[in-house]
Structure 1
Amino acid sequence: MQQNRLFDDFARLMTDAAGAAQGVRREAETVVKAQIERMLRDMDVATREEVEVLRDLVASLRAQNEALAARVAALEAKPADGTPTAGAKAAGADTATA
């Protein structure tokens, strides 16, 4: 009976030690997480939401840039004196005969 009580006490001690170890682990995780978050705030790192907004903005600006480049190319293809180009004359002739 004395031996059972010794094992019970030892088991209780190990259970308490495991619980204390988990508490220390949780506390350490909390402290490390707080330190990392503080360091990130101090470094002024962009959040995921900010990066996503910038990515969408860049995609939109890229599309606008491509559209403007195509428009500039079309305007540069026109002669400066306002006369239609050979392609425009041919297109106009096709519609005039139709």
Structure 2
Amino acid sequence: MSTGPNRILDEFAKLMTDAAGAAQGVRREVETAFNAQIERLLNSMDLVKREEFEAVREMAVKARDENDALKARLDALEARLSGEGR
């Protein structure tokens, strides 16, 4: 059995190891609680997920391209009609 300064150092080392383990446990609990709180906050806000945003963005780009193509066709038809009316 240890005696004297070695025993005190052994006990101190054990105490520090236990304290470090407890601190890690508390850290994990705080992180879990923080993440849950942030998730609740974000869910309460009217935010969209990136995937949803990208899907709608792609739809808007496609619609804009189709609109531009239809406008070009309409302009060409109007030009032909105004040319025939003379």
Q: Normalising TM by the smaller chain, what interval?
A: 0.7 to 0.9
Looking at structure 2, the residues matched to 25 and 34 of structure 1 have their Cα atoms a distance apart, in angstroms, of: 14
Q: How far off its partner does 1:84 sit?
A: 8.6
Greater relative contact order structure (CA < 8 Å, 6+ sep)? 1
SS at match of 2:48: coil
Identical-pair percentage: 55
Q: How far off its partner does 1:44 sit?
A: 2.4
1:10 matched to 2:12:
yes
SS at match of 1:79: helix
Q: How far off its partner does 1:62 sit?
A: 1.2
SS at match of 1:54: helix
Looking at structure 2, the residues matched to 64 and 13 of structure 1 have their Cα atoms a distance apart, in angstroms, of: 71
Q: How far off its partner does 1:79 sit?
A: 2.7
Aligned counterpart for 1:41 among listed residues 35, 40, 43 = 43
AA of the residue aligned to 2:45:
M
Residue number in structure 1 paired with 2:59: 57
Give unpaired runs (5+ residues) of structure 2.
Answer: none
Aligned counterpart for 2:34 among listed residues 32, 35, 38 = 32
AA of the residue aligned to 1:47:
K
Q: How far off its partner does 1:64 sit?
A: 0.6
AA of the residue aligned to 2:53:
V
AA of the residue aligned to 1:33:
N
Give unpaired runs (5+ residues) of structure 1.
Answer: 86-98
AA of the residue aligned to 1:25:
R
TM-score, with normalisation over the residues of structure 1?
Answer: 0.76
Report how many residues are paired. Answer: 84
